[in-house]
Amino acid sequence: MTYDPNNIFARIIRGEIPCNKVYEDEYALAFHDIAPQAPVHVLVIPKGEYLSFDDFSKSAPAEAMAGFYRAAQKVAEQLGLQEKGYRALANTGADAHQEVMHYHLHLFAGCDLGSMIKKGLV
């Protein structure tokens, strides 16, 4: 699969579509999810063109990776999520129902998030 530069998150980075911004630096942008699944549901996305966790982890330069994960941690700190905890999750590919093909980390918080995967699959 090739990266589509007109995917919705690429358009948000370019300012073509608005977002409810939480944090931005040279490596990452974070904004509230449009359809939150927890009291706090923020998406952190890298500024570079990466399809998924898999693509980002394999292809991004070390500086971009460190910058991105440091930014994600800063978002959690800025929102005060550490005290009660939060979940960082990256859907990757079809079985995980990844909808937007620009790598993003979901940060969920603000309530007891339950067990890791709700449906018992094994």
**Is 104 one of the catalytic residues?**
yes
Per CB under 6 A, does 35 bind ligand AMP? Answer: yes
Task: Please give the helix or strand (H or E) that residue 115 lies within, else none.
Answer: none
Contact 88, 69 (CB under 8 A): no
Within residues 68-97, the interface with ligand AMP by CB under 6 A covers: 91, 97
Task: Please give the helix or strand (H or E) that residue 13 lies within, else none.
Answer: helix 8-13
Q: How far is the CB of 106 from ligand AMP (least distance, A)?
A: 6
Q: How far is CA 110 from the centre of its chain?
A: 17
Per CB under 6 A, does 8 bind ligand AMP? Answer: yes
Contact residues for ligand AMP, defined by CB under 6 A: 8, 17, 19, 31, 33-35, 43, 91, 97-100
